[in-house]
Amino acid sequence: MIPRKHAKPTPIEKAPQASKRFLETINRLIERCDDIAVSTGCWLFIGAQHPGGVASTIHYTSPRLYRDAPERMNEIATEYDQLMGDLLASRRSDALELRSQLKQSKEENLKMEAKMGDMETRMLDLARKVQLYSERLGLSNE
């Protein structure tokens, strides 16, 4: 773990603002990575994707890493793109599944409320019949 030299920022709660901030800062980060890679000749790979973003996955491979292992880096970049695509699809399918479950729960709730209303109506009807028969038979509720 790399020690921080400044306090952690407050997480941005709203997705549109978080996505905008991501796009504003990721390019500067990639540029800094390129500066480091070019000036030092290091092997460097970085990838990023914002979960709420609609832009494609962003990744950077340093010139030396790409020069020393071009096929493997193409594989890694492709695998990374697929992973991000899978994660984004998973988030959407999770949201769709939850939405579907919520809709089903609401429908079941409405059915149960209707059933309860029918049961209450039947109970009131039966209570009226008991009252009517009690009066006809001369029975009292005492």
**Which class for 18: exposed (0-12), middle (13-18), buried (19 or more C-beta within 10 A)?**
middle
Please name the residues in contact with 87: beta carbons below 8 A apart, sequence gap of 6 or more: 49, 51
Could you give the CA distance from residue 85 to residue 4 in angstroms, rounded to a whole number?
A: 30
pLDDT tens track, the chain, 142 positions:
788 889 998 999 888 889 889 988 999 999 999 999 999 999 999 999 988 766 778 999 999 999 999 999 999 999 999 888 888 888 776 766 777 788 889 889 999 999 999 999 999 999 999 988 888 888 765 5
Tokens coding 113: 């409320």
What is the reported pLDDT for 135?
A: 85
Could you give the CA distance from residue 19 to residue 88 in angstroms, rounded to a whole number?
A: 14
User: What residue segments make up the domains of the chain, in order of their start?
Assistant: 15-137
CA-based nearest residue to 44, from 56, 30, 26: 30
